[in-house]
Structure 1
Amino acid sequence: MSLRPAEEVRTAPLAALGLVGGFLVARETGVRPLGGAVLGLAGLYAGRTWLGKTGPAGTAALSAIYLGGFGASHPLAKKIGAWPAVLGVAGVSALASYLLADRH
C-alpha cells in the first residue's frame, strides 16, 4: 500500500474530516482517545500533504490552525454549542487548507 502523491491530495476535506470525524467518533463511542486518533490520523495525512505542497512554513501555519481549532472548539462549545463550534472550526481549517495548499 502506498500513499497518493502530495500534489494529488486535497487537504481541505481532510482537515474538516479530522475535526468533525474526531468529534463524532468521541461523542458516539464515548471513547475520547478514539476520537483523538481520528483527529490525529487525518492531521498527520494532511500535514504530510501540506509539507509537500507548502513547505515547512505553510505546514506550521496550517497545523497551528488545525490544532488551534481543536483547542478553541472546547471553550467555544460552551458559548454556542458543540456542533456549531466544531463545524465552525472545521470550516476555518478547511478554508485555510484550500487557500494555502489546495487551490494552487
Structure 2
Amino acid sequence: MSAVPSAVLTTAGLIGGYSVARATGNRPLGGAVLAGFGAAAFETTRRGSGMGAAVALTTVYVAAFGLSHPLAKRVGAWPAVLGVTAATAAVAVAAGDRSEA
C-alpha cells in the first residue's frame, strides 16, 4: 500500500486546521490538526524524496500558514487559505509526489 501523497496531507492540514479552528473557536485545536498533517507530510516526503525535500516542504507549509494571516486581511480568510494551500500542494508535487504516481 502506498503512502498518501504529501500534497493531499498538506491540503488537509491547511484547510482542515483552518476549518476546525473556525468551527470550534479553538485555535489550538486547529493548530493541532495543522501540526499532525504537517508531520505526516514531512514523513511521507522524507521517505520518498529524502530529508532535504522534507525540510523544504515543511518550511513552505509553515510559511504558507503564516502568510495566510496577513493575506486574509487583504482578500478574505477562505481565499487566503485556498491560495496558500494550492501553492503548498504545488510545492509538494515538485518535492516528490510525482514519483508516487
- Give TM-score scaled by structure 1 length: 0.90
Matches within 5 A, 1:36-75: 36-75=31-70
Deviations 1:27-74, CA, capped at 9 Å, x for gaps: 010000000010000001111111111211111110011000000000
Matches within 5 A, 1:1-104: 8-104=3-99
Identity of aligned residues (%): 47
Once superposed, what is the RMSD of the aligned Cα atoms? Answer: 1.1
Q: Which amino acid aligns with 1:73?
A: S
Which aligned runs of 4 or more in structure 1 are off by greater than 6 angstroms? none
Q: Distance in 2 between matches of 1:48 and 1:100?
A: 12
Q: Which amino acid aligns with 2:90?
A: L
Return 5+ residue gaps in structure 2 as ranges.
none
State the Cα distance separating 1:21 from its structure 2 match.
0.4
Return 5+ residue gaps in structure 1 as ranges.
none
